Amino acid sequence: MALASALASALSDAHATMAHAKVHEDYAAADPFSSPVPPSKQNAPPATVFKPTSVTPPSPPRTPTSADKREPASTVAARRALRAAVERVERRCARVEAVVASRLDALDARCTEMKTMMVKLVENQPTKTCLDAVKAAREAAARAEVAAQQAQKHAEASPPLQRERKKSLSDRLAALSPLKKQPVVEEDALVAAYASYQDQEPPSISRIPDDFATIQAAIDAAEDDGLVIIAPGLYREALVVARPIKLEAAETTSDDEGVGAPLTTVTVEAPAPGSRALLVTAAGSCTARGIAWRCSTEVNELARPCAAVGVKGGRLALESCAVGSASALSGVNAQRGATLSLLRVTGANCRHTGVLLSGAGTTATLERCDLSENGAHGLEIQDAARVDDALRLRCAHNALFGVFVSDPGSSSKLRRADLSRNRRCGVWVQSGASCDVSDATFSKNGEHGVALSEDKSSAVLRRCAFAGRDDHLACFNGAAFSSLDARDCCYEPGDDDSPRLEAGL
């Protein structure tokens, strides 16, 4: 028993000693100077220790591996995310640099092109002339400004002139009147108005071709309400009027009782297919007398047909004029709130319509006009346009209707009109439009004298004469006869040999 207890005690002491030695060896391997074992004894042979034969010697210390030196997973993920973000920023910077480089190249090319154009403009003789003129005008303006400043300084330095004020007309009348004198009036309003009227200069007058080679040049140089007198002849121009102007033929004929334009001696023809002979803009106001307006006679199937005269929001007054031709879509096309006045105008032989009115605010008055023998209608009114008064209008021998009124708000007032011998109807009203006809003649139209189409269309007829084998009055597509008010009208069957009825003519 004693021997067994001694052996166990010796074995426990040996294990304790070996553990203590291993700790010191680990410290020494990390830092020799931090080990509690003195350096002199670090390499000393180990002490003889009793080792039982049955005891297994301790394993040598484990050498750290690369797996022990690995970083944490969170640090590795953060480093990878940072690297990916840096790569994305680099790629975006590369794209931005490419875009900037391409745009800089395009800008350099544009600058080079503009420099080339500037060189060409400077080398061009008309451009040099214009630049010299601008430079001379600026120098003249500078000299005038210097002269005005000198004159102002001289006036300020000079003493004021003492002038005796002349007595006005009221002063002289008050001095002669035996009645009580009235308070002195500085200036008589009547005398001032008369003086201002006397000071007005007459509008400028230009003559073609004496003063200008072209009509457009005379229009551009004329003052407001100026007059351009045109000698007889053919003028191939596309006139644009953007100011108040008057155009008149030098030689005109007059026939106060006739319908339609008399013989004209001045013709303005569009220079190319698809262009107008006259265009009046929204700022323009034109009065023309004794001129024939027509489109180009050249044939071009690719050119879009247009009206011989166009009015876009401006004012146009035609007297004793002829409009349209076989190549014109219409004689006059007034739109966008234009104001049209026609007196003794002929609009015939057009591809579609003699006179076309469209757009809200567009108004027209016609007197003794002849709108016949057109490809569709003599007079067409649409899109809320209106004819305030048409006196002694003739719309005959048209391919469809004499007068065509369409769309809500569109209206026409016809007096003493001749609406005969049209292929379909004398008057056709549709889509909620209205028409007022009095003292008119409807003779030998192809289908109907007056026809309504669609709901809310209406017509009022007073003292009209109908003749022929057609159905004088008709309603289609939901139009009601109650909307067709005809009173004091006469209806006769007539035939091809019977004389035409005249109502109110």
pLDDT at 79: 80
Q: Is residue 291 part of a domain?
A: yes
> Chain centroid to CA 198: how far?
43
d(Cα 452, Cα 457) in Å, to the nearest integer? 6
Q: Are 459 and 432 in contact (CB under 8 A)?
A: no
Confirm whether pTM is higher than 0.75: no
Q: Is residue 351 part of a domain?
A: yes
Counting DSSP H helices and E strands in the chain, the numbers are 6, 30
**What is the arrangement of strands in the sheet containing 377-382, beginning at the earlier edge strand?**
239-241, 278-280, 309-312, 330-335, 353-358, 377-382, 401-406, 425-430, 448-453, 471-476
Q: What is the pLDDT of residues 49-106, one digit of tens each?
A: 444 445 455 556 555 555 555 667 778 788 888 888 888 888 888 888 888 888 888 8
pLDDT band at 35 (very low <50, low <70, confident <90, very high): very low
Q: Is residue 68 part of a domain?
A: no
Through-space distance between the first and last CA atoms of the chain, rounded to whole angstroms: 165
pLDDT at 125: 66
Q: Are 261 and 344 in contact (CB under 8 A)?
A: yes
Alpha carbon distances (Å) from 314 to 155, 219, 241, 397:
48, 16, 9, 31
Q: Give the tokens for residue 102.
A: 């391409």
d(Cα 452, Cα 199) in Å, to the nearest integer? 58
3-state secondary structure of 174: helix
Determine the average pLDDT of the residues in 28-49: 48
3-state secondary structure of 391: strand
Residue 417 has pLDDT above 90, yes or no: yes
Number of domains in the chain: 1
Q: Which of 219, 229, 226 is nearest to 251 (CA)?
A: 229
Q: Phi then psi for 482, rounded to 5 degrees?
A: -65, -20
Range of the domain at 227: 207-492
d(Cα 76, Cα 84) in Å, to the nearest integer? 12
Q: Is residue 225 part of a domain?
A: yes
Alpha carbon distances (Å) from 76 to 72, 84, 88, 443:
7, 12, 19, 103
pLDDT at 185: 45
**What are the residues whose beta carbons fall under 8 Å from the beta carbon of 161, sequence distance 6 or more?**
none
Q: What is the pLDDT of residues 245-273, one digit of tens each?
A: 999 999 877 666 788 888 888 999 999 99
Alpha carbon distances (Å) from 297 to 324, 374, 383:
11, 17, 31
Q: What is the pLDDT of residues 393-402, one digit of tens each?
A: 999 999 999 9
pLDDT at 56: 54
Q: Which of 362, 364, 456, 343 is nearest to 413 (CA)?
A: 364
3-state secondary structure of 483: helix
Residue 43 has pLDDT above 90, yes or no: no
Query: What percentage of residues in the chain have a pLDDT greater than 90?
Result: 43
Q: What is the pLDDT of residues 356-371, one digit of tens each?
A: 999 999 999 999 999 9
The percent helix, strand, coil of the chain (3-state, each to 5) is: 30, 30, 40
CATH number of the domain bearing residue 300: 2.160.20
Q: Is residue 58 part of a domain?
A: no
Q: Is residue 302 part of a domain?
A: yes
Q: Is residue 34 part of a domain?
A: no
Q: Is residue 270 part of a domain?
A: yes
